[in-house]
Amino acid sequence: MWATGDTVEVGLTSALEFPNIESGPRLDRISFTSVSVANAPVEDLTFREGAAALTLSFQAHESGFSVVAMSTHPRAGEISPENTAAYLDEIEASPAVRQAFEDLPGSPALNRSYSKHTKTFLCIDTCDVGEEAGEAPLGQALEFVSIGGEERAFALLRDGQSVANQRVTIYSSDGEHAAVTTNQDGVVNVSSDFTGVVLLSAIWVTAPDHPSGNYHSDQATLTTRLD
């Protein structure tokens, strides 16, 4: 919980496991930023690049529920044949996507691109003012939103539409994690076993028209605190 008058800092980092802090993107990698407090936009933002994290900061002039979101530009490259299986595991590729690539002749490199879409819910003095902002999509390619009146329920949206039967991994701040699946409405419920700061993560893979094409993945994360 932050207090009015505080300088709020939120760090964006890239790591294989939560809550590890490993490497921070450069500012020019960021394609989208949105910050609101009490359902009102915050425009005066400061960024600080660092080896471990890109830190966004702003002054907390108002009390209420805050949403901080960022997305990255796509980054492209090749995955060498010896690392392809591990990469397909990392992006949670479906069996059909994996099989299509593995059926290619020879041992080709995998062409891939990826974007990351982060969102953080936090509170300044109180969580009760403007908490409906957590329910509103921000236009990210893949994102989580809260469900009004249900502290532990979240919906996964792709381009604003709910995503059913999608794997979501839930992480606790002590390194525990569990895999769940969205229901037919794209909603997941976080077990009461997870309390304190938690992170939800989901990855959507867009397969190419041909197995030798580019495999693009969008990863959405939501960090929030649950009592």
What's the pLDDT tens digit per position in 33-60?
999 999 999 999 999 999 999 999 999 9
Place of tokens 């979501």: 168
Q: Which residues contact 204 (CB under 8 A, 6 or more apart)?
A: 141, 142, 158, 163, 166, 217, 218, 219, 220
2 occurs within a structural domain: no
**Mean per-residue pLDDT of the chain:** 95
pTM: 0.94
Residues in the chain with pLDDT < 50? none
| Structural domain total, the chain | 1
User: What distance in Å separates the CA atoms of residue 190 and residue 198, rounded to the nearest whole number?
Assistant: 9
- Extract the tokens encoding 145: 């939103």
1 occurs within a structural domain: no
Ranges assigned E (strand) in 73-213: 75-79, 110-124, 142-147, 150-158, 161-162, 167-172, 177-181, 187-189, 196-206
| Residue 193 CB-half CA count within 13 A | 9
Nearest to 142 by CA among 56, 67, 193, 200: 200
Judged by phi (left if over 0) then psi (alpha if -120 to 50, else beta), residue 95 lies in alpha
The pLDDT tens digits for 5-37 are 999 999 999 877 787 777 899 999 999 999 999
Q: Is residue 117 a contact partner of residue 140, using CB atoms and an 8 Å limit? A: yes
Full domain range(s) for residue 52: 7-226
- Helix then strand count (H, E) for the chain reads 2, 16
77 occurs within a structural domain: yes
pLDDT for position 16: 72
Q: How far apart are the first and last CA of the chain?
A: 13
**Hey, is 207 helix, strand or coil?**
coil
* Rg for the chain, CA atoms, rounded: 18
209 occurs within a structural domain: yes
The pLDDT tens digits for 147-156 are 998 999 999 9
26 occurs within a structural domain: yes
Q: Is residue 215 a contact partner of residue 179, using CB atoms and an 8 Å limit? A: no
- Extract the tokens encoding 169: 């991994």
